[in-house]
Structure 1
């Protein structure tokens, strides 16, 4: 795919910067002391190129807050009185980075507005705030991106008075086990906000999709930030002939977010913005390309997604049970085996895994021959070995809790966090935690490190006293955590780093960019399990999304083929299907093994170059009971469509129209339920689709498509 990135600087009549990447153009500039958003284009057009009579920028007077970033320092909104000190442009390969340095004319503060372009229709934006005064300054509010987005007029856009001009897509739910619940909300007028990790719980991925229903642009944004946030959208239609849409992407926590020492500089989290025509699928695919190329590291050891299994506190975790689980996992084709929460516990206390966190040494009564015996058994089978750690907290029965009460973070009620969250805004405690992780990596020669984080949203809202202020901990906490994982990934390049946070509590790009892949939920029960996969593969590339079968009550609903098909669109973890020392069910075993093999030979090879198609993005709008998910290679040589009967409502039949195919190619189409194959032209599939019949809820069909030349090889 062709890429293009460029920055155009025009100093007269007023300073204007045009950021061009792919067919995306974003323009902003200095107007009367305000740094403001001027235009967004998804078709490659620069408004600054049309100079007669004047460039058709947005009329910033239509917005109460047109500035393209927002900043409050010491109680004063610094929305105006800026002077440009410099504009620097650095070219990096096919990409470009522009830095606009602004100096405030009243307060002693300097801001660098940084925009990175990588050649596709996405731009990355962050700002740096530097205290240039001789005294501490309290950073009370910060929005890395804000201001006007679009202005439509009746004359130009020909919309009706009562039209829904926009619709907003976002993850509706914030509670545990409800991740990925994507929904559409029509916006006719007024303001809407979406929050997480402070005003709401932590299981909402910080993503939004803003679709213009009149002119067709789709803007998809993600905030790479693990602290509190609020996205606000304001559609002002008070002028009967004008509709003005603005947005504000803000960090959210009790102020101040940070107390900057004299000379201290803070780099904000990044906002990643994709702007395209073509709707949700096109926007998701563009963002996935950007994440793969510019946000995430390459796959560990060159493998896109290892098939994992392990043993955790849902089972007896003694030596013999662990080795039996290893045998079972190996027989299914699993490639990586890990020991989950509980390896540090006394025997028969699996239910107390939460209470003993912090004492990160294995229990000798549980493993009399040491964990090295388990690791050696794993390695003898040619598999990778991993261990779990809830590294950022300590449990109330741990020795470290008893000895170091002061290590726990302080909530705003004046009490230490009941979860045992460590005050990692303190560099000394962050260093202690890093030492514990390094001990595990070195002592047990880990191939995989599995992080967990079992802390509720409100418990994570904490403070430290600094220079007479109650400074919120989010900024310093995550600066320390991100930096630590940068070091660990660099020093242990062959270790698979797996992220989890009570499921999907920290799936944002800020956290997951430091990991190989991430769990997106601890809820495995259908039909919601399909909803989670459906939504979270919009937010993240599918190869970075972890899904589970055989644990966490996944066995309570749905037939087994449906359970495991939900996994193989993403990265599968296979739990235990059979209690230790009980003969496995060969029928069940064959079904699981078949799908694991299918993942390895058909799905995984295309994952890094795949396109996701979400046929049913908002499942609340599904009327016929069918959810459909599709993955295809970007060269349309192969693809896979999952048809999931998520309820008994509606009919037993649906027609599926594959999207990741070419009209001029022929495809071998295989229906996995029967194994039957047929050759069909891509044109016929696009025109007529495939009629699929499923009787009964929570059943499924898997459609495999492979271009005939590739199928013959």
Structure 2
């Protein structure tokens, strides 16, 4: 609910649906807050607050005009409602404001969809001209106001390389909690998603939860602020650190969407809302599309790829039932290790004397699609590209250029770099039948300078790099609609609603240890749908943890999202290959329910010795349950799992044993699952019977 009061726009309500009469009552109500040493505007529930007057909370907007004035005083002008039938029926409300003196227009946007409680919000800034450029110093996309409660609990996702999306909870006290990335990309450390629940009472399936997520793949910031007066608001968008954007006369800037939802069904209900919204309105594929099973060559051959060893892997992958064969790093330039070759995106003639087409032809002949690993935004100093264009990387004058993983970051904000990059990969895709691209990014930004722009606006690299990346992906997708893309950044370092609107899937983590993956994949599922969560079966002992677990356990963990195989098939025994064939065939039968169904997290890996997840088909006719035992104690070999979301009077049959259960029995008495020893697992497949 919104109410205009003077020159401010106040937020009145965000929660479950209410009657029109109640909404009207809220709109008529007057609020009078008198607080010593505070102004009324300083304690108001402002919908979006520019810096100025007696405002001391985290602002949404801070600018400087050409004459040195640094505050915004805005007045409401007009509003409109637009209807759209594209990408699902939606309505967009816009509210236009203008500075009282300067030609600065601020428009707030709100978009809602049919059959969804998710709200998209963003802001457009426009310099109407006549008073010179306007310097944007801070520009957040939205400010979310929450109802008054005694306390709130904040849930968010943090981590590092190999330990992404760890679920973390903090009970809030007065002050600010800041989540951010200053790295130029989304980051492994924090993900631009969070949830808040009232009085810290919400559980997986019960209680009220508010959740927000940012559609941005660069440096970002979210601020959750609890005032001394019991108010709580969450604001966020582009990170204001080192940020300065010159908005010239006649120019406009659209800020990234900051998306929010409310759930009265706990964290699980919030996750299911996110998943349905993403499938319906974010992901580029159709809502009911399924992702194919892929094989990736990295663990088998590392940089030492060549035509012979890839041909051998192709035969073995096809025999397992794989649908996409992806050749990873090492196929281009002088790429024999990570010290050289990035930037030289031509096929290595020593490794592939006949080019890539014979390999691709064999992949296609065996009924698979061919995919390739690339890292377009990076360059090695030891490369022909860098020797020709050393000015194309981010750098400052008189400062060293910090290398990470022996590579530097190309300045994608430059038009010439963008054009070179597009032409390079457009040519690669045009000359080969490549149907899958793994788009990687293996370092954060440093020395984000642009000497050619000094005296103008070099700080715009934080924004323009991402906008040009989006343009690149959009154009490549337009010209090559048969190509699917995977976002990767040393694992899950670039996963957000912005990049996922342009990529079919995400590499969740470089850590493929099956036990660790239960924690990583649980956190991922809080914000993102299983369909885009890539999960590989790799070899044991695991390269990172040294842990050895059964192949069945590894498959069951990887089947909880989009399944991939990453092991060295040359070393798999005939028994392992036969077992893998069966698991892959099973996954093909159930993947629609896994990838596009309703996820119920039955047991968390953080709370005991068993983890369990349930997937319910959208039509309610199929159920898949996974149970993973960590370690057995005291001879306790059975766990009982109470299922959720079923129809009480319906009956469900086990696809293997044929045993039938009523929905009421499965939800109240529960499903007994036997787990023996350490790292045992089970998959149960139920089908509704008439």
Distance in 2 (CA, whole Å) between partners of 1:501 and 1:249 is 23
Partner of 1:645: 629
Residue 323 (structure 1) aligned with residue 311 (structure 2): yes
Partner of 1:569: 560
Please report how far the alpha carbon of residue 130 of structure 1 lies from its aligned counterpart in structure 2 after TM superposition. Answer: 1.2
CA gap of 1:415–1:108, structure 2 versus 1, over 3 A, is farther
Post-superposition CA distance 1:575-599 (Å, at most 9, x none): 23432xx6x4122112211221111
Please report how far the alpha carbon of residue 106 of structure 1 lies from its aligned counterpart in structure 2 after TM superposition. Answer: 3.8
Task: Give SS of 1:691's match.
Answer: strand
Task: Give SS of 1:282's match.
Answer: helix
Residue 143 (structure 1) aligned with residue 133 (structure 2): no
Which TM-score applies when normalising by structure 1?
Answer: 0.85
CA gap of 1:354–1:409, structure 2 versus 1, over 3 A, is same
Post-superposition CA distance 1:621-661 (Å, at most 9, x none): x1x31122221112221111211223557855432111132
Partner of 1:406: 391
Residue 87 (structure 1) aligned with residue 79 (structure 2): yes
Post-superposition CA distance 1:215-255 (Å, at most 9, x none): 9421111100111222222233x45xxx3222112321433
Distance in 2 (CA, whole Å) between partners of 1:294 and 1:466 is 40
Q: Unpaired segments of 5 or more residues in structure 2?
A: 34-39, 50-59
Partner of 1:251: 238
Residue 43 (structure 1) aligned with residue 35 (structure 2): no
Residue 192 (structure 1) aligned with residue 177 (structure 2): yes
> Map of 1:327-476 to 2, 5 A cutoff?
327-346=315-334, 350=336, 352-353=337-338, 355-410=340-395, 414-416=399-401, 418=403, 419-456=407-444, 458-459=445-446, 461-462=448-449, 465=453, 467-476=455-464
Distance in 2 (CA, whole Å) between partners of 1:417 and 1:498 is 27
Q: 1:682 aligned to 658, 663, 678, which one?
A: 663
Q: 2:95 aligned to 95, 100, 108, which one?
A: 100
Please report how far the alpha carbon of residue 460 of structure 1 lies from its aligned counterpart in structure 2 after TM superposition. Answer: 7.9
Task: Give SS of 2:329's match.
Answer: coil
Q: Which moved more, 1:502-511 or 1:464-473?
A: 464-473
Partner of 2:294: 308
Residue 699 (structure 1) aligned with residue 687 (structure 2): no
Task: Give SS of 1:49's match.
Answer: helix
Distance in 1 (CA, whole Å) between partners of 2:659 and 2:384 is 64
Distance in 1 (CA, whole Å) between partners of 2:192 and 2:217 is 9
Instruction: State whether residues 449 and 458 of structure 2, in contact with CA within 8 Å, keep that contact through their aligned partners in structure 1.
Output: no
Distance in 1 (CA, whole Å) between partners of 2:32 and 2:178 is 23
Instruction: State whether residues 658 and 689 of structure 1, in contact with CA within 8 Å, keep that contact through their aligned partners in structure 2.
Output: yes
Q: 1:209 aligned to 167, 173, 195, which one?
A: 195
Please report how far the alpha carbon of residue 77 of structure 1 lies from its aligned counterpart in structure 2 after TM superposition. Answer: 9.9
Task: Give SS of 1:473's match.
Answer: helix
Distance in 1 (CA, whole Å) between partners of 2:602 and 2:329 is 37
Distance in 2 (CA, whole Å) between partners of 1:542 and 1:385 is 23
Task: Give SS of 1:144's match.
Answer: strand
Residue 527 (structure 1) aligned with residue 507 (structure 2): no
Q: Unpaired segments of 5 or more residues in structure 1?
A: 1-26, 153-158, 160-164
Instruction: State whether residues 226 and 511 of structure 1, in contact with CA within 8 Å, keep that contact through their aligned partners in structure 2.
Output: yes
Q: Which moved more, 1:128-137 or 1:644-653?
A: 644-653
Partner of 2:53: none
Distance in 2 (CA, whole Å) between partners of 1:553 and 1:515 is 28
Which TM-score applies when normalising by structure 2?
Answer: 0.88
Instruction: State whether residues 139 and 255 of structure 1, in contact with CA within 8 Å, keep that contact through their aligned partners in structure 2.
Output: no
Instruction: State whether residues 312 and 339 of structure 1, in contact with CA within 8 Å, keep that contact through their aligned partners in structure 2.
Output: yes
Task: Give SS of 2:96's match.
Answer: strand
Please report how far the alpha carbon of residue 29 of structure 1 lies from its aligned counterpart in structure 2 after TM superposition. Answer: 3.9
Please report how far the alpha carbon of residue 189 of structure 1 lies from its aligned counterpart in structure 2 after TM superposition. Answer: 4.3
Instruction: State whether residues 280 and 286 of structure 2, in contact with CA within 8 Å, keep that contact through their aligned partners in structure 1.
Output: no
Of Structure 1 and Structure 2, which has the larger fraction of its residues in strand?
Answer: 1
CA gap of 1:395–1:290, structure 2 versus 1, over 3 A, is same
Please report how far the alpha carbon of residue 148 of structure 1 lies from its aligned counterpart in structure 2 after TM superposition. Answer: 2.7
Please report how far the alpha carbon of residue 46 of structure 1 lies from its aligned counterpart in structure 2 after TM superposition. Answer: 5.5
Distance in 2 (CA, whole Å) between partners of 1:607 and 1:244 is 40
Partner of 2:224: 233
Instruction: State whether residues 378 and 410 of structure 2, in contact with CA within 8 Å, keep that contact through their aligned partners in structure 1.
Output: yes
Post-superposition CA distance 1:406-464 (Å, at most 9, x none): 000126994445232110111221111111111210111211122111122x5385556
Distance in 1 (CA, whole Å) between partners of 2:324 and 2:126 is 45
Q: Which moved more, 1:123-132 or 1:100-109?
A: 100-109
Instruction: State whether residues 73 and 140 of structure 1, in contact with CA within 8 Å, keep that contact through their aligned partners in structure 2.
Output: yes
CA gap of 1:294–1:187, structure 2 versus 1, over 3 A, is same
Task: Give SS of 1:44's match.
Answer: coil
Residue 265 (structure 1) aligned with residue 272 (structure 2): no
Q: Which moved more, 1:215-224 or 1:274-283?
A: 215-224
Distance in 2 (CA, whole Å) between partners of 1:687 and 1:413 is 69
Give the length in aligned residue pairs: 651
Distance in 1 (CA, whole Å) between partners of 2:14 and 2:487 is 35
Partner of 1:487: 475
Instruction: State whether residues 142 and 250 of structure 1, in contact with CA within 8 Å, keep that contact through their aligned partners in structure 2.
Output: yes
Task: Give SS of 2:673's match.
Answer: strand
CA gap of 1:649–1:484, structure 2 versus 1, over 3 A, is farther
Instruction: State whether residues 327 and 372 of structure 2, in contact with CA within 8 Å, keep that contact through their aligned partners in structure 1.
Output: yes
Task: Give SS of 2:459's match.
Answer: strand
